[in-house]
Structure 1
């Protein structure tokens, strides 16, 4: 179990670094979009490559941050009964859901997307739009993103089994307390309250 937990920590570290780095692609997308808009409006110049690179970057953010979101338990969860169960039952639900739903779906998409990427690379597939980009980098994002998600799913299973056997802490223990957004909102509220009192 110690070796598996060490592997789990390694997967967590890699996916967290990739997820945090991928967040910056949103800024890059925004800058490209702004430059494209200025060039089009001010100089009547535009390129489909600008639009397509934004799509590629959006895909990278979505696919590369999926594993990071799973690690932080940030995926949307419709909680009807889950919150009423004991913590051990919740952990079992997480394990069974990952094994019977998440992993089969992710493995199937990885399996189906890899030949599409290989064919795109081999045939030098290019966008049919004028000035468009090669397709193979976008095709590669899918299997890479789902491979990262599969590794993170395995890491989450290891952490939960360790918790159930008493070999590790509760994986959700770090999730207690307000989120970063809630903490920021609370700080803003305090600053507004303080400035209101100062004005009086």
Structure 2
């Protein structure tokens, strides 16, 4: 169990680093959004086009990226919304059992299905043709728009990161069920810590 727990801690470290990356993405998204609004109004005032579809789409891409790569971080810190008033009153082992079963029976299969279903559309977005050859990337239909392939690829990345974090959580829940105390302490500290310290 200690070896698996170390593996889970490595995944947790990766998730924390991705969570820290969200800081920059949020600031960049707000900055581009501010520029887009200011440029639109200032452009009307001076009679020039100061913004572009590329910047508007970049703002949309970054906003999507926040959600895509934020899912594993939310899972790690149990920041998802729980509507179960019974769960809070259960013992840590009972909570771990329910979380373990939910993760293994539902979340991990969901991630695997998500990867399977999105794999071919992402390849097609990069230009893979039905005969297996490669063509042009999928691009926005708007003038001066951005390529769609990079943001569509992030769907795969987000499912892969969520799958890794789900495996980490399952390992930690399993460790709690087997009485491995460091796992219980880590799970409890993750739910008590504020997000992204």
Aligned pairs for 1:39-58 (under 5 A) are 39-43=39-43, 44-45=48-49, 46-58=51-63
TM-score (norm 1): 0.84
Corresponding residue for 2:177? 164
Corresponding residue for 1:142? 155
Question: Structure 1 149/77 Cα, relative in aligned 2: closer, same or farther at 3 Å?
Answer: same
Kept after mapping to 2: 8 A contact 1:23/1:61? no
Question: Structure 1 segments of 4 or more deviating over 6 A?
Answer: none
Provide the rounded CA distance (Å) in 2 between the counterparts of 1:87 and 1:13.
Answer: 23
Which of 122, 126, 129 is residue 117 of structure 1 equivalent to?
122
Kept after mapping to 2: 8 A contact 1:15/1:152? yes
Provide the rounded CA distance (Å) in 2 between the counterparts of 1:137 and 1:175.
Answer: 32
Gaps of 5+ in 2: 128-135
Kept after mapping to 1: 8 A contact 2:172/2:187? no
SS of equivalent residue, structure 1 residue 172? helix
Question: Structure 1 175/71 Cα, relative in aligned 2: closer, same or farther at 3 Å?
Answer: closer
Aligned Cα root-mean-square deviation (Å):
1.7
User: Does residue 174 in structure 1 map to residue 161 in structure 2?
Assistant: no
User: Does residue 89 in structure 1 map to residue 94 in structure 2?
Assistant: yes
Gaps of 5+ in 1: 182-200
Higher relative CO (CA 8 A, sep ≥ 6), structure 1 or 2? 2
Kept after mapping to 1: 8 A contact 2:65/2:154? yes
Aligned pairs for 1:1-200 (under 5 A) are 1-43=1-43, 44-45=48-49, 46-122=51-127, 123-169=136-182, 170=184, 171-175=186-190, 180=194
TM-score (norm 2): 0.85
1:175 Cα deviation from its structure 2 partner: 4.6
Equivalenced residues, count: 180
SS of equivalent residue, structure 2 residue 126? helix
Question: Structure 1 173/59 Cα, relative in aligned 2: closer, same or farther at 3 Å?
Answer: same
